[in-house]
Amino acid sequence: MKLLIVFLLGIMSILFFLGTVVFSQESQEKFSIPVVFEYPGVDERDPFYPLIYEEETIEVVEKKPLPVITQSDYELLGIAWEAKKSMAFIAKGGKTWMVAEGMSIDELKVLSIQAKEGRVTLIGEDMIIELKMFKELGDIE
């Protein structure tokens, strides 16, 4: 009789153990969490945006027009151009540069190259320099 009770308790414990294993696997499948959570757009306040924040102060600086200088140490030697791109040859002292629009010479940026007019505009922080091939048609020798 004791042997029968031990045998039945053994079978019941095995069945109980197997039942819990199967039940635990089923419960994991039912209550799984999605891998990606998408935050739905709402027309109300964004809960992730802080309620208290520091305001940035923007300092408005009044810009004055830059003076245009036509007489400078820079000299326009020539302009080469194609349909879409122009290159200018500029000299100052012993230096010569071959530049396109947007490039820099010293602290000046090449603003525009107008090939047909023979004009190049350089812009700096405090001045605009306008270079011309010839001042007037009478200046051609």
pLDDT per residue as tens digits for the range 86-140 = 899 999 988 999 999 999 998 899 999 998 889 999 999 888 999 998 655 444 4
Q: How far apart are CA 113 and CA 130, in angstroms?
A: 10
Residue 134, beta-bridge partner list? none
Structure confidence by residue, pLDDT tens digits, 49-98: 777 777 777 787 777 888 888 888 999 999 998 878 889 999 998 899 99
Residue 42: phi and psi, rounded to 5, are -130, 150
The predicted structure's pLDDT at residue 81 = 87
Q: What residue ranges define each of the domains in the chain, with the CATH number in brackets?
A: 68-139 (2.30.30.830)
Q: If you average pLDDT over residues 41-48, what whole number do you get?
A: 71
Q: Is 120 exposed, middle or buried (0-12, 13-18, 19+ CB in 10 A)?
A: buried
Give the rounded distance of the alpha carbon of 25 from its chain centre: 49
Q: Is 113 exposed, middle or buried (0-12, 13-18, 19+ CB in 10 A)?
A: buried
- Is the distance from CB of 106 to CB of 117 less than 8 angstroms? no
Which pTM was predicted?
A: 0.51
Q: Which residue has the tokens 């036509």?
A: 70
